[in-house]
Structure 1
C-alpha cells in the first residue's frame, strides 16, 4: 500500500522546464477547453501543481486517512498490510499557504441540477472550517454542478449560514440560484485549469 505525497520541485534554474513539462502533460489530457474529460479533483490538482511550480502558492491535497487492521510479517525486514479501511476525513480536502495566509478548502461535485445537498458535509468538517475562519485563515468550498459543468467558489461563511439554518429545521440544500447569484463562477482554463486564486485575490487581498 503506497501513499503519495507531493514531490520536491525542481530548483529555480529548472523552473521554466518544469512548467513546460506540466503544460505538455496537461495538453495530452485536454485537446481543447471544450473537452472536460478530467474529474474535478484532477482539475484542482493540476491547478495546484501549476501554482506550486510558478511559485504562486503551496497547496496540497491531504492524504486520505487509513485505519490498518491487520499486518503480516513474512520477513523480518518487511511488513505486508493485509486489511485496512479508509477512515472518514476529519477535516477538509486541501490546505496550504498563499501570500502569507493559511488557506483551507473542500471540493465537492453534485449531480443535482437545482441544488447542492448539505449531506456532502459532516459536522466535524464544518467545525474545522469555522476554526480556520476564527483564526483569520482563508476558507471556502469549490463546487462543480456536473450536469451543467459549472464550477463555483463559495465563501465558507455562506456555507455556515445554510448549515445553521438546516439545523433549525430549514432546507437541507443550497439552491443553485444562490450559487449563480452570490458565489463566484470559475471558468475552465488551461494553466491553471481552475484559477481559484484569482477569486481569492479579489475576496481577501483587494483592500
Structure 2
C-alpha cells in the first residue's frame, strides 16, 4: 500500500496494488504531493516469537529449613527465587527495546505457573504460587525417607509488550523455561540421646 498527502493537507490518500497482476498499477502522485511508503507492521506471531526467544532468567528453589537439610516427617517450605544479575529477564522486569521490522518493541515478563519437583518422586503439580517461607508459605512437602534429593522448579512465563513506547498489551503466549537448576538437599533423621 502507498500513501500520499496533498501539500498543505492533513489527509492521507491511499492506494493498493494486487499481487495477481489483474489490477492496474496505482496512479502516480501528482507533482507537489509527498509520497510515503507505509512501513511493514509485525504480526502477532512475530511478536510472540520474539518474546519466547528472550534471555529469561531461571528460577532456583529456596528451602526452609535452611542449611541444605531437613528432617524426616517435618514440613519443608519452598520458594521460587529469581537471579538479579541484569543479564537475563525476570518476572516484573522490562526488556531493552528491540527492532522488529521497523518498530521498536519492549517486553515485560510476568509469572504464569510453577511446578515444584521435590526430588523424591513427588511434586506440587502446576500452581500459580511462587511459594514462601515459614509459616505462611503455601508450597510445602514432608519427606518420609532419609536420603539425598535434588529439588528443582519448572516455570512458565507470560507478559506484555508495547510498540514505540505506547500502551502495554497482553502478549497472549507462554514461554516454557528449560534447564532450570537443581538444588541438592538432604533429608535426615533426628536422633535423641540421653547424656549424664
The two structures share one fold, judged by TM-score above 0.5: no
Structure richer in helix, relative to its length: 1
TM-score normalised according to structure 2 size: 0.21
Q: Which has the higher contact order (CA 8 A, sep 6+)?
A: 2
Structure richer in strand, relative to its length: 2
